[in-house]
Amino acid sequence: MIHQYKLGGYNIVLDVSSGAVHVVDDIAYDMIALFETTERADVIAAMAEKYGHLPEVSAEDLEECYDQLLELKESGQLFVPDTFEAMAPYLKEKTSGVVKALCLHIAHTCNLNCSYCFASQGKYHGERAVMSYEVGKQALDFLIANSGTRRNLEVDFFGGEPLMNFDVVKQLVAYARSVEKEHGKNFRFTLTTNGILVDDDVIDFANREMSNVVLSLDGRKEIHDRYRVDYAGNGSWERIVPKFQKLVEARGGKNYYMRGTFTHANPDFLKDIQVMLDLGFNELSMEPVVCAPGDPSELTEADLPIVLDQYEKLAELMLERERAGKPFTFYHYMIDLTGGPCIYKRISGCGSGTEYMAVTPWGDLYPCHQFVGEEKYKLGNIWDGVTNKDAQNEFACCNVYSREECRDCWARLYCSGGCAANAYHATGSVKGVYKYGCELFRKRMECAIMVQVAKMADEDDDTDL
Amino acid sequence: MKHIKTIKTRNLCESAKKGGCGECQTSCQSACKTSCGIANQQCESAKNSK
């Protein structure tokens, strides 16, 4: 399968199974569209009719172009069949029982009252609670014991607002550091925070111990303060922005994401990205809202063309700023064409429910943070391990080939079948497909690849056709 | 006349032979937390060999 599209002045052709990316001229672009369905002579004739009037195009040249396509096909870079499906069940067996990442719900409570919060203001539709050190320590022990030969273990301090239980966060990091060497492990911690409780102590700790920090900011003050308010209804933008600026400045180049959410209130989210840039942040993530159907913040069909256009304009802005020496990163456009994931990862997906689980303040295990509170998906707990094998099997069977809708999608090896939680909330099944999200994802991938192509073209005049 | 420029990419068919170490980051962990995209992840072994 191939996917061909025009964006940013480039004709781009993706070969789905090999991962090859080709930049082609108009003749090759049109020829590729006919290549698998039309005889050679008819392809050449069609091209001669369309392009023959151009002085630089000869019959010999068209034959040569066709030969170039044949060579790419024969060398496994174009029209490569997908032969990976047979590997899919084996992959899950390979990773079966190995856990490599936990999302620790360190606080099921929050000091903000954001109406669009998928975690229902941090409570996950349950009681307010904070995780004790004993529960957290057992969770880390569970991770070490179940991580097999994996060296890198990821732990995200999540909530609610994790800084409402900061002392336990510090104690758990100290514990993990004290035992990681003896077990041959390397903990990578992440803190996701709304910023309200960030102070010098937090900044010092986060910049020393956290591989990544995820900082919640929605961009424009009026957009941010529409949803991100305290329990008195006061917006939080003024309070958090100076703290985030101080934290990022002190971070000294270590990873962070300024993470925003866009909703029906701001499908024109590029304005919010521009505000983040103006505030001095340059590692950005802006996500479509996840909410119940019918929620006022839900993105609508009418919003879709606006959002797709914003993604294209975002790509243009990235290139403009790159060329001006003021680059920034956008999480979904950080595609590494040469050092990206192997086919195993691309087929098997995010690992929720198998390699990755969420731990509640009480020590219960769920397939991921977005399933916490869905009782039928409670997998077990950190003392007894996974006991709800039926629920886990639903996730173990999730792969890029388990969804019929993905079979004809060119982006399947870039998303590996999508987010099980998005699918569940949109369709009632983890094997469903969140079609709206797919539309956004495909556009993001087209933009991400175009940005890479343009950067390479900037570095290498040879990319020009 | 040049019609096609092939960008250097990781060959996924080749990665089937040696991939699957599992050391890579869990997809939405440490990041967006609300969607699955694996394309923007790095291969841990490729990163270490750079």
A367 near A379, Cβ under 8 Å?
Answer: yes
Cα separation, A103 vs A145, in Å, equals 16
Residue that wins the pLDDT comparison between B37 and A307: A307
With H, G, I as helix, E, B as strand and everything else as coil, classify residue A443.
helix
Who has greater pLDDT, A93 or B44?
A: B44
pLDDT of residue A463: 56
Q: Does B48 touch chain A (CB under 8 A)?
A: no
Cβ count near A344 (within 10 Å): 23
CB neighbours of A49 closer than 8 A, spacing ≥ 6? Answer: none
Kind of pairing between the strands at A256-262 and A283-288: parallel
Choose the closest CB to A341 out of B5, B11, B38.
Answer: B38
Chain mean pLDDT for chain A: 94
Closest residue, chain B, to A32 (C-alpha) = B4
Structure token pair of residue B11:
């060959």
Note the pLDDT of residue A313: 98
According to DSSP, residue A415 is labeled: H
* pLDDT (0 to 100) of residue A89: 75
pLDDT digits (tens, 9 = 90+) for A415-433: 988 899 999 988 999 989 9
User: Which residues between 253 and 272 in chain A have a beta carbon less than 8 angstroms from any beta carbon of chain B?
Assistant: 255, 257, 259
Among B6, B24, B29, beta carbon nearest to A22: B6
Q: In degrees rounded to 5, what are phi and psi of residue A106?
A: -70, -25
Average pLDDT over residues A11-16: 98
Is the pLDDT at A311 greater than 90? The verdict is: yes
3 state DSSP class of A322? helix
pLDDT of residue A398: 86
Using the Cβ of A37 and the Cβ atoms of chain B, whether some distance falls under 8 Å is answered with no
Q: What percent of chain A has pLDDT over 70?
A: 98
Judged against a pLDDT cut of 60, whether residue B5 lies above it is answered with yes
Q: Does pLDDT of B30 surpass 70?
A: no
Lowest-confidence pick of A29-43, A99-113, B10-24: B10-24
**Which of B18, B40, B42 is opposite residue A331, by nearest beta carbon?**
B40
Which residue carries 């102590």 as its tokens? A201
Q: Mean pLDDT over residues A259-282, rounded?
A: 97
Query: Distance (Å, rounded) from C-alpha A379 to C-alpha A353?
Result: 8
pLDDT at A90: 74
Predicted pLDDT at A85:
87
Q: What is the pLDDT of residue A206?
A: 97
DSSP string covering A161-202, please?
-GGGGHHHHHHHHHHHHHHHTTTT-EEEEEEEE-STT--HHH
Tell me: pLDDT of A132 over 70. yes
Which of 168-187 (A) contact B at CB < 8 A? none
In this prediction, residues A360-377 reach a mean pLDDT of 95
Chain A with chain B: Cβ pairs closer than 8 A: 229
What is the radius of gyration, based on Cα positions, of chain A? 24
Q: Which residue has the tokens 């797919």?
A: A438
Task: Specify the pLDDT at position A48.
Answer: 97
pLDDT at position B29 over 70: no
CA-nearest residue to A337 within chain B is B9
pLDDT the model gives residue A444: 96
- Residues A285-308: pLDDT tens digits? 999 998 888 889 999 999 999 999
**Is A238 exposed, middle or buried, given 0-12, 13-18 or 19+ CB atoms closer than 10 A?**
exposed
- A217-259 pLDDT, tens per residue? 999 999 999 999 999 999 999 999 999 999 999 999 899 999 9
- What's residue A187's pLDDT? 97
- Determine the average pLDDT of the residues in A2-9: 98
Q: What chain B residue is nearest to A82 in terms of C-alpha separation?
A: B13
User: CA A292 to CA A107: how far, in whole Å?
Assistant: 22
Give me the mean pLDDT over the A19-27 stretch. 97
pLDDT at site B50: 57
Q: What's the confidence (pLDDT) of residue A121? A: 81
Give the whole-number percent of chain A exceeding pLDDT 90: 83
Q: Which helix or strand (DSSP H or E) is residue A414 part of? A: helix A412-415
- Render the burial of A48-83: b for 16+ CB within 10 Å, e for the rest: eeebeeeeebeeebbeebbebbeebeeebbbbbebe
Q: Which pLDDT belongs to residue A87?
A: 82
Q: What is the ipTM of this complex?
A: 0.91
**pLDDT, average across residues A35-59:** 96
pLDDT at A268 over 90: yes
> What is the model's pLDDT at position A465?
65
Residue with tokens 């009480």: A362
Q: End-to-end distance of chain A based on CA atoms, in angstroms?
A: 24
| A361 — pLDDT class (breaks 50, 70, 90) | very high
Q: How far is CA A441 from CA A209, A399, A450, in A?
A: 32, 17, 14
Q: Which residue among A69, A287, A342 places its CB closest to the CB of B19?
A: A342
| pLDDT number for residue A348 | 84
When pLDDT is cut at 50, 70 and 90, the band that residue A45 belongs to is very high
Contact in structure between A398 and A433 (CB atoms under 8 Å): no
Asked if the model's pLDDT at residue A365 lies above 80, the reply is yes
Beta strands A256-262; A210-216: pairing state: parallel
The residue to which tokens 């995780």 are assigned:
A131
What confidence tens digit (pLDDT) does each residue in A446-462 have?
999 999 999 999 988 65
Residue B17 sits at the chain A interface (C-beta within 8 Å)? no
| pLDDT the model gives residue A229 | 96
pLDDT: which is higher, B31 or A149 = A149
Q: Among positive and negative, which fits the CA dihedral A208, A210, A211, A214?
A: negative
Mean per-residue pLDDT for A120-133?
A: 90
Q: How confident is the model at residue B27 (pLDDT cuts 50, 70, 90)?
A: low
Question: Mean per-residue pLDDT for A316-345?
Answer: 93
Is a pLDDT exceeding 90 seen at residue A7? yes
- The stretch A262-274 carries a mean pLDDT of 97
Q: What are phi and psi of A2, to 5 degrees?
A: -120, 165
